[in-house]
Amino acid sequence: MNEVAAAARVCFVTSEPRQPEWGDDQLSAVVLADRGIEVEFVAWDDPEADWDGYELVVVRSPWDYADRLAEFLAWADSVGPERLRNGPDLLRWNTDKRYLAELDGAGLRVPPTLLIAPHGPVPDFGGKVVIKPVTGAGARDTGIFSDDHRGDGLDLLEKLGDQDEIAMIQPYIEEIDSVGETAVIFFGGRYAYSLKKRAFLPEVGVAELSPGNSVAAGMLVEDLITLTEASEDEIDLGCQTIAWLCPTVSAGCRSMPGSTW
C-alpha cells in the first residue's frame, strides 16, 4: 500500500469489454480515490495507452491474457519492472503452472502433478483426478475425471494437445468439497488476509463456460469467494512460499499474524 500511496497516478490494467463481475476493481479504485490517488482503467492491449504516463501500473483484470499469452508477456516487458506490479519476470513465472515443480523441488507442499506433453502418453488415473492446461484462467478446459470416465478425460487431453498445450493431471483433493480452497494474501512479505473459494467444478466432466467468454460459469457466481480466517498451518505455508519466492521481502513474515488492512 505504501508504494501505491506514493504514486500520484495509478493505472489498473484490465481487458475489454469489462464485466460486472469485476466490481472489486472499482471498489479498490474508490478506496484510492478517497486517499487522493487517481486511478484509470486501461486494457493491456490498448494501442493508445501511454504507460509511461503512470507512476504505477497494477495488473488487475486482464482476463484474456491466457488466450494471447505471448502478446501479454511482451506487453509486460514493454512496461518494465520499475512501473509494473507484479513485475514481468514474476508474471511470466506465474502464468505457467509448471512452477509447481519448482515449489516441489524447494520442499514446499504441493499436490502431486503429472505433466502431459501435447498428445503424449497418459498413465492410468488411479482415482479421481483434475485435468487442466498449465496456462489458463477461469477454469477454461478444466475438468474432473475418474477411471470410469477415462475416455472423457482423454478427450480433454486430446483437445489440449490439438491446441499445442501442455496438460497437467493432479489427484482430486476431496477435502475441497467440504472445506474449499484457502488463498493466503501477502503484501510486502506481510500476511494481510485470507479468502475461501468453495468447490465449483462438476462432479465429473469439463467445467461449463459462461456464455460469451472463456471463463467457467461457476467462477462468476456471487458467493464463490468469501473472506475467511486462515489456519496457522496455512499461514505458515504461505510464509514459506514467500520466503522462497521473494527472500528480500519475506523478513518478518510472521510478524503480522492478523490482518494488516
Residue 261 lies in a domain: no
pLDDT exceeds cutoff 60 at 254: no
In this structure, the answer to whether residues 125 and 59 fall within a common structural domain is no
Q: What is the pLDDT of residue 157?
A: 98
Per residue in 21-35, pLDDT (tens digit) is 788 899 999 999 999
pLDDT score for 209: 79
Pick the residue with more confidence: 221 or 146? 146
Do 162 and 186 share a structural domain? no
* Same domain flag for 167 and 104: yes
**Domain total in the chain:** 3
Confidence of residue 252 (pLDDT cuts 50, 70, 90): low
Is the pLDDT score of 156 beyond 80? yes
The pLDDT of residue 258 is 44
* 193 φ, ψ (degrees, to nearest 5): -165, 175
CA dist 148 and 150 (Å) reads 6
- The confidence band for 261, taking pLDDT boundaries of 50, 70 and 90, is very low
- Which CATH number do you get for residue 159? 3.30.1490.20
Report if residue 207 sits inside a domain: no
Query: Structure pTM?
Result: 0.84
Q: Does 240 fall in a domain? A: yes
Checking if the pLDDT of 166 tops 80, the result is: yes
Q: What SS3 state is found at 6?
A: coil
User: Which segment of 64-68, 115-119, 166-170 scores lowest on mean pLDDT?
Assistant: 64-68
pLDDT band at 5 (very low <50, low <70, confident <90, very high): low
Tens-place pLDDT, residues 80-108: 999 999 899 999 999 999 999 999 999 99
- State the average pLDDT for the chain: 89
Q: What are phi and psi of 145, to 5 degrees?
A: -145, 150
User: Is 208 part of any domain?
Assistant: no
CATH code, domain with 89: 3.40.50.2300
Q: What percent of the chain has pLDDT over 70?
A: 92
Identify the residue with better confidence: 59 or 248: 59
In this predicted structure, the answer to whether residue 125 has a pLDDT above a threshold of 90 is: yes
Answer for the pair 132, 169: CB distance below 8 angstroms, yes or no.
Answer: no
Do the beta carbons of residue 206 and residue 156 sit within 8 Å? yes
pLDDT bucket at 255, cuts 50 / 70 / 90: very low
**Residues 154 and 192 placed together within one structural domain of the fold:** no
Helix (H) or strand (E) holding 174: none
The pLDDT assigned to 215 comes to 76
| CA-to-CA separations, 46 to 9, 43, 51, 57, 82, in angstroms, rounded | 18, 5, 10, 14, 20
Domain carrying residue 169: 99-175
Structural domain includes residue 260: no
